[in-house]
Amino acid sequence: RKEVEQDPGPFNVPEGATVAFNCTYSNSASQSFFWYRQDCRKEPKLLMSVYSSGNEDGRFTAQLNRASQYISLLIRDSKLSDSATYLCVVSNTDKLIFGTGTRLQVFP
Amino acid sequence: DVKVTQSSRYLVKRTGEKVFLECVQDMDHENMFWYRQDPGLGLRLIYFSYDVKMKEKGDIPEGYSVSREKKERFSLILESASTNQTSMYLCASRKLLGTGGFSYNEQFFGPGTRLTVL
Residues of A in contact with B106 (CB under 8 A): 46
Chunked mean pLDDT (size 10), chain B, 118 residues: 89 97 94 94 94 93 97 97 97 76 75 97
Mean model confidence pLDDT for chain A: 93
Tell me the CA end-to-end span of chain A in Å, nearest whole number: 37
A94 vs B31: CB contact, 8 Å cut-off?
yes
Cβ atoms of B31 and B49 within 8 Å: the answer is: yes
Tell me how long chain B is.
118
Nearest to A43 among B50, B102, B112 (CB): B112
What count of Cα atoms within 13 Å lies in the side-chain half-sphere of residue B44?
A: 17
For residue B2, what pLDDT is reported?
Answer: 66
pLDDT in tens, A26-57: 999 888 899 999 999 999 999 999 988 889 99
CA–CA separation, A102 vs B3, rounded Å? 26
For residue A52, the model assigns a pLDDT of 84
CB contact under 8 Å between B43 and A98, yes or no, is yes
Provide the β-strand partners of residue B91: B34
pLDDT tier at A1, thresholds 50, 70, 90: confident
